Structure 1
Amino acid sequence: MNVAVVTVGDELLAGRTTDTNATWLCERFAERGVGVERVTTVPDRVADIARVVNEYRAAYEAVVVTGGLGPTHDDVTMEGVAAALGRDLEEHEAALAWLEEDGYSRADLTEGTTELPAGARALHNEAGVAPGAVLEGVYVLPGVPDEMKTMFETIAPEFTGDPTYREEVVAAEPESALLDRIALLRQEFDVSVGSYPGESVRIAIESTDEATVAAAAAWLRDRVESP
């Protein structure tokens, strides 16, 4: 399964808020064997949200959008997703019922709080107020990290794939000196390889076959200088 992650917020693009949501989601997807092929941040603008969501839903099995939920003037994510899917926004009775169970009356809620794209499945916000939504492979989650994480756990089983196994080999050599051995490693084993220089070079070996990863890592460790 492959997915794209879209985070929404002018504050993210301005550097005033660190985008921890994207990192957390990528980690969860990796644990589930789901490939993340795009991570994109867009401003609080309906047209930008709609354009990116529409493009990505045609290319990936799921699009996960976080941020910009709620009734305030800059919470336009639901409107953008609705535009991408060609749907109107309408009050969702199940979302309203959940909030009433949590102690909110209709009069307590700001207008627009429970408006979701027509036909969407509502996602209850157990850690906040603004509901999420699922429609046509697009998952819309809150931007507040605690709310996003809590809501994601309710839909996590919907994201599945083959687990990827990973081992790292650390080499006390320049990255350029390792190119020939990395090339041989790729010839010998069906693995993906990434190298990350620093004080030492970390060589990451990944595959969906655990035994292949272990064998490839052992092969390489025998052929590099350890720190």
Structure 2
Amino acid sequence: MNVAVVTIGDELLAGRTTDTNATWLCERLAERGVTVERVTTLPDRVGDIARVVNEYRAEYDAVIVTGGLGPTHDDVTMDGVAAALGRSVEEHDDALAWLEADGYSRGDLASGTAELPAGARALHNDAGVAPGAALESIYVLPGVPAEMKAMFESIEDEFTGTPTYREAVVADEPESALLDRIAELRDRFDVSVGSYPGESVRIELEAGDEATVTDAAAWLRDQVESP
């Protein structure tokens, strides 16, 4: 299963808010064996959201959109997702019922709080108010991290893939000096390799077979200088 993650918010693009949601989602999806192919951040603009969501739903098995839910003037994500699918936005009976069960009367709710794209499945917000939505292959989650995490955990079983295994080897050598040994590693073992320089070089190995990763890491540790 491959997925695109789309985060929404002018504040993300301005650097006023750190996008921790994308990192958390990528980690959780990777744990489930799901491949994240794209992470994109968009402004609070209906046209941009509609265009990108429409493009990504054709390319990937699922699209997860976070941010911009609620009744305020810049909460336009539901409108953008609805536009991507050529649907209207309408009050959702299930979302209203959940909110009323949580103690909110219709009179307590700001106009638009329970409006979702027509035909969507409402996702209850256990950590907040604004509901999320699932429709076709698109999942719309809140931008508040605690709310996003709780809502994703309620649907994470819908994201499945092939488990992968990872192991890291740290080398106290320049990255350029390791190229020949990394090339030999790839020849010997069926693993993906990434190298990340810093004070030392962290070499990450990944494969679908745990024994292969373990053997490759053991071989590489014998070939490099450890810190």
Q: What interval of TM-score do these two structures reach, taking the shorter chain for normalisation?
A: over 0.9
Structure 2 residue aligned with 1:175: 175
1:225 deviates by 1.1
1:119 partnered with 2:119: yes
Structure 2 residue aligned with 1:211: 211
Q: Kindly report which structure 2 residues correspond to 1:27-106, keeping only aligned pairs within 5 A, or say none.
A: 27-106=27-106
> How many positions carry a matched residue from both structures?
227
1:18 partnered with 2:26: no
Identity of aligned residues (%): 82
Which letter maps to 1:187? D
Alpha-carbon distance between aligned partners in 1 of 2:136 and 2:27, rounded to the nearest angstrom: 24
Structure 2 residue aligned with 1:140: 140
Structure 2 residue aligned with 1:129: 129
Provide, for residues 150-198 of structure 1, a one-character-per-residue CA deviation record: whole Å limited to 9, x for no partner: 1011000000111111111111111111101101111111100000111
TM-score normalised by the chain length of structure 2: 0.99
Alpha-carbon distance between aligned partners in 2 of 1:124 and 1:199, rounded to the nearest angstrom: 45
Unaligned runs of 5+ in 1: none
1:22 deviates by 0.5
Alpha-carbon distance between aligned partners in 2 of 1:130 and 1:220, rounded to the nearest angstrom: 50
3-state DSSP of counterpart to 2:69: coil
Structure 1 residue aligned with 2:225: 225
Unaligned runs of 5+ in 2: none
TM-score normalised by the chain length of structure 1: 0.99
Structure 1 residue aligned with 2:202: 202
Structure 2 residue aligned with 1:191: 191
Alpha-carbon distance between aligned partners in 2 of 1:132 and 1:148, rounded to the nearest angstrom: 9
1:109 deviates by 1.0
Query: How well do the aligned residues superpose, as a CA RMSD in angstroms?
Result: 0.6
